[in-house]
Every structure is written in structure tokens, then in C-alpha cells.
């Protein structure tokens, strides 16, 4: 086999390897996005089904229906690839009280980072507001996720879905 042919084969193998790496990276990104969606749905359900006492336990003084948006940013274990593997979810949440106001923008809301243990029963932990809040967030959220814990909620689709559920909850029947 001549050097030109060997070079063409090597280039083809390298190109195939790059293509496979790209497909693998795409599949990992798709799997991660799917897991984030599943985690967001699970945590949203946990928060929205919580009793008023449970909401009070994790920093919400709500006594009526609650509608939430959730944006996961981490898990324990950190390399979990399926919902069944996740023990803890670290997420930003935004919850609004339905009925206090008929306008989403004027509703009473709570937001911030939370830690949710998936299990029966699930457990929700939120840092208490007030002086020392950043330290309490750092105690609750593992160090690898501190930057994400203090980031702004950015999933507009989750907020739009919560806003729609808020409006729907105001309609009798």
C-alpha cells in the first residue's frame, strides 16, 4: 500500500472518529436534557403537591394552592444519567400562590435554590432568608454547584408553563 493510500485511510478513520465523537456528544447532551426535563417535572410535582405545612418547612408561608417552575442544575450522584439513579436534585425554583392575586406579576412568590431528596416521602430543603443567606445556600448545595445555585432562573418555558397553570387555577371548574 502506498503512502498516499495510507494517508487517505488514516484521514478517513480520523474523520469517522470525529463523527462518532460528535454523535456521542450529541447523545449525551440529549440524555442530559431529557434527565433535566424529568427532574424538573418530578420536583415541580413534589412542590405543587406539598401541604401548606410542608411549604412552610421549606420557606414558603403558603396556605393555598401553589404553582411552581423548576430548573435543575445538579444531582447527587453528579454522574447520574437516569431518574432512577438520582438521590438528590439541586434546582432553582419559583413558586407562586394562586388566589392571593389574580395577576401572576403581582402574586406572592418564593424563589431560590433548593435541594430535593427523591424518595418516599420526598424531602425538600431550602435555605432560610435573612442575614447569612449566602452561607446557608453554600451549606445546602455542594460546592461544585455553587455558581449555578446563585444564577438567575433562565428557563422561560418553565416559567411560562407555571404562569399558564396559575391562570388555569384561577378559573373555577
**Tens of pLDDT along 43-96?**
999 999 976 555 444 444 545 689 999 999 999 999 999 999 999 999 999 999
Task: Look up residue 6 and give its DSSP letter.
Answer: H
Residue 100 pLDDT grade (very low, low, confident, very high; cuts 50, 70, 90): confident
Angle between helix axes 3-49 and 156-170 (nearest 10 degrees) is 30
CA distance 143 to 140: 9
pLDDT at position 65: 85
Domain limits, the chain: 3-170
pLDDT of residue 99: 80
Asked whether 55 and 93 are in contact (CB, 8 A), the reply is no
CA-CA distance, 26 to 94, in Å (whole number)?
30
Instruction: Say what the pLDDT of residue 170 is.
Output: 85
| Better-predicted residue by pLDDT, 152 or 57 | 152
Q: Per residue in 118-149, pLDDT tens?
A: 999 999 999 999 999 999 999 999 999 999 99
Amino acid at each position: 500500500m502506498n503512502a498516499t493510500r495510507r494517508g487517505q485511510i488514516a484521514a478517513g478513520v480520523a474523520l469517522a472518529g470525529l463523527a462518532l465523537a460528535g454523535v456521542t456528544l450529541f447523545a449525551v447532551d440529549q440524555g442530559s436534557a431529557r434527565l433535566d426535563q424529568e427532574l424538573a417535572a418530578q420536583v415541580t410535582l413534589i412542590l405543587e403537591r406539598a401541604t401548606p405545612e410542608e411549604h412552610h418547612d421549606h420557606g414558603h408561608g403558603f396556605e393555598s394552592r401553589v404553582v411552581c417552575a423548576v430548573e435543575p442544575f445538579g444531582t447527587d450522584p453528579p454522574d447520574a444519567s437516569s431518574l432512577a439513579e438520582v438521590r438528590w436534585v439541586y434546582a432553582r425554583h419559583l413558586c407562586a400562590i394562586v388566589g392571593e392575586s389574580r395577576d401572576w406579576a403581582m402574586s406572592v412568590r418564593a424563589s431560590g435554590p433548593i435541594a430535593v431528596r427523591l424518595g418516599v416521602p420526598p424531602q425538600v430543603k431550602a435555605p432560610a432568608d435573612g442575614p447569612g443567606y449566602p452561607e446557608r445556600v453554600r451549606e445546602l448545595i455542594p460546592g461544585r454547584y455553587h455558581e449555578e445555585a446563585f444564577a438567575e432562573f433562565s428557563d422561560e418555558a418553565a416559567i411560562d408553563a407555571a404562569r399558564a397553570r396559575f391562570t388555569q387555577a384561577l378559573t373555577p371548574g
